[in-house]
Amino acid sequence: MTLEESDIVRLGGVEKHFGAVRALDGVDLTVRSGECLSLVGHNGAGKSTLMHILAGTVAADRGRVVIGGDEQSVYSPARAKQLGIRCVFQELSLCPNLTVAENARVFHPALTGLNWRRKAGALITSKLDEIFPGHGVGPSDLIQDLPIARRQMVEVARAFTATDEPVRLVILDEPTSSLDSHTAGQLLAFMRRAVADGISCIFISHLLGEVLQNSDRIVVMRDGRTIAADRAEAFDRNRLVATMGGSEPRPTEANASDRLARGKTRLHVRARPRQQGGSTDLVAHEGEIIGLAGLAGHGQTELLLTIFAAATRQCPGVAVNATVALVAGDRQADGIFPLWSIAENIGICSLRKLRQGALISRRLEDKLANFWRDRIKIRTPDIHNNILSLSGGNQQKALFARALGSEARIVLMDDPMRGVDIGTKLEVYDLIREEARGGRTFIWYTTETDELKKCDHVYVFRNGAIVADLARDELTEEKVIQSSFVGADPR
């Protein structure tokens, strides 16, 4: 293998197995200095595993890791950091019981002296200001008190801070999946500026628009192999989807015959956000798909959690008339049971129907899990494997299966498609529409405008209150953006 002057990374013939799963099957990858390389592929294609090998957090079974021209025989996260490689992984790595400044200090042992806390706070704040102007994060905020979007912002900002070690290559594994479109735009603009300054970025995303607009080169992975690599201009959306192994995206917006006349079916939910002045309520009838829009952290998740709580106890201002399941937004903190199998994670909301006498029937639990594995293509050789053996997107599918597999008539979804690949998304959209036709109600917070278009009715949130109430026919991206911003406090 010859090394080009401008290559910062060369991986050659990298292989990795996890038990029977062949996660990487002889992957070659080159990253050049000062380029944004995007890595795309279906859930479980091997993208994160490859990045973990580059970051030194997972050892390859076989293959070469060459960085800055030097082959790395003994490689570790510390060595990767020394060489200027930084990572923002899907599962965030901040210590939840420490503050923002303390987390910066953990990453930068060079910040010493009596005033280390002030120096660490200034370092991270200035990077947050540079990437996410108006971010609203303070250096003394505890990580566990921050919503997921702000934790993601801190993680990204920390990866770009430098003290005694250089920043040469930043791996961003689905960094925008928890961010609203405004904040995601700030990050992508910053990434382009960093690249122009000579830093290399590896960008992983299932949002193909972001990939096409912000990359210099795109590498497509499928089943543990790289199957295409080209300049970004050589790809369009259809070629990307086809190369990833999917079909052409189909428009899945409901047609006119799917639409319900509002108010003609039974009322399932009436809820007023706590900060709501005036008399606007969120109203959801049986069989409706209701979208919640607006910038992240403006009250959508709180309202979903209040509706969830109101199904089992009195909550002022909220009436819920059917059983409820929730697809949690923060998979790591609130979604998965990390010590349980995939089957147990899927079955936990369906215990009543899985019971045989006093015990849970393993046979019925397996049947439910296998049904959903096939229905939404959860990639695993065995549903008895631990949930953490799944790739991020496949864990998200398991959470979705948990809610849809339950008997709940109302499904609350807190941005449930984070990290789910395009092919599966299209199938899940159809599934939601089909379930709604069968009388299930969906209340769906999403950061993707395309997903709002799948809803029958959309409420836009700002500062904890509903500020716009849009029927499907009235919905445009401009209206959502305008309502999200007009008069919004800088946050």
Ligand X SMILES: Nc1ncnc2c1ncn2[C@@H]1O[C@H](COP(=O)(O)OP(=O)(O)OP(=O)(O)O)[C@@H](O)[C@H]1O
Q: Cβ closer to ligand X: 89 or 235?
A: 89
Q: Taking contact as CB under 6 A, which single stretch among the options 39-47, 93-101, 129-137, 474-482 is the one that binds ligand X?
A: 39-47
In the complex, least distance from residue 263 CB atom to ligand X, rounded to whole angstroms: 40
Rounded Cα–Cα distance for residues 18 and 105 (Å): 34
Q: Cβ closer to ligand X: 45 or 443?
A: 45
179-238 binders of ligand X (CB under 6 A) = none
Q: Taking contact as CB under 6 A, which single stretch among the options 42-50, 74-82, 241-249, 466-474 is the one that binds ligand X?
A: 42-50
47 binds ligand X (CB under 6 A): yes
Q: Cβ closer to ligand X: 244 or 282?
A: 244
Rounded Cα–Cα distance for residues 55 and 59 (Å): 9
In the complex, least distance from residue 15 CB atom to ligand X, rounded to whole angstroms: 12
Q: For 160-198, give the DSSP string.
A: H--SSS---EEEEESTTTTS-HHHHHHHHHHHHHHHHTT
CB burial class (10 A; 0-12, 13-18, 19+) of residue 354?
A: buried
Sign of CA dihedral 215, 218, 221, 222: positive
Nearest to 293 by CA among 473, 132, 92, 454: 454
Q: Taking contact as CB under 6 A, which single stretch among the options 38-46, 143-151, 320-328, 455-463 is the one that binds ligand X?
A: 38-46
Nearest to 186 by CA among 141, 246, 132: 132
49 binds ligand X (CB under 6 A): yes
Residues 6+ apart with CB under 8 A from 14: 24, 26, 27, 28, 29, 50, 53, 60, 62, 63, 64, 65
Among 15, 21, 260, 449, binds ligand X (CB under 6 A): 21
Maximal CA-CA distance, the chain: 69
Q: What angle do CA 260, 425, 345 make, to 5 degrees?
A: 100
Rounded Cα–Cα distance for residues 206 and 210 (Å): 9
In the complex, least distance from residue 152 CB atom to ligand X, rounded to whole angstroms: 15
DSSP assignment, residue 341?
Answer: B
In the complex, least distance from residue 58 CB atom to ligand X, rounded to whole angstroms: 8
287 binds ligand X (CB under 6 A): no
Q: Taking contact as CB under 6 A, which single stretch among the options 18-26, 250-258, 334-342, 363-371 is the one that binds ligand X?
A: 18-26
* b/e per residue 31-52 (b: at least 16 CB within 10 A): bbbbbbbbbbbbbbbbbbbbbb
Among 10, 27, 37, 43, binds ligand X (CB under 6 A): 43
In the complex, least distance from residue 30 CB atom to ligand X, rounded to whole angstroms: 19
Q: Which residue has the tokens 């280390």?
A: 116
Among 8, 10, 14, 46, binds ligand X (CB under 6 A): 46
Q: With contacts defined by CB under 6 A, how many residues of the chain interact with ligand X? A: 20
In the complex, least distance from residue 393 CB atom to ligand X, rounded to whole angstroms: 3
In the complex, least distance from residue 108 CB atom to ligand X, rounded to whole angstroms: 28
Rounded Cα–Cα distance for residues 7 and 30 (Å): 7
44 binds ligand X (CB under 6 A): yes
DSSP assignment, residue 334?
Answer: I
In the complex, least distance from residue 261 CB atom to ligand X, rounded to whole angstroms: 39
In the complex, least distance from residue 448 CB atom to ligand X, rounded to whole angstroms: 16
The SS3 call for residue 432 is helix
In the complex, least distance from residue 487 CB atom to ligand X, rounded to whole angstroms: 38
Q: Cβ closer to ligand X: 237 or 274?
A: 237
Q: Cβ closer to ligand X: 393 or 416?
A: 393
Strands 225-231 and 62-67: unpaired
DSSP assignment, residue 387?
Answer: G
Q: Taking contact as CB under 6 A, which single stretch among the options 43-51, 149-157, 269-277, 473-481 is the one that binds ligand X?
A: 43-51
18 binds ligand X (CB under 6 A): yes
Residue-level length of the chain: 491
367-426 binders of ligand X (CB under 6 A) = 379, 389-394, 419, 421
In the complex, least distance from residue 42 CB atom to ligand X, rounded to whole angstroms: 7
Q: Taking contact as CB under 6 A, which single stretch among the options 2-10, 37-45, 282-290, 360-368 is the one that binds ligand X?
A: 37-45
Q: For 239-296, give the DSSP string.
A: HHHHHHT-PPP------GGGPPPTTSS-EEEEE--TT--TT--EEEETT-EEEEESST
Give the footprint of ligand X on this chain (CB under 6 A): 18, 21, 23, 41, 43-49, 379, 389-394, 419, 421
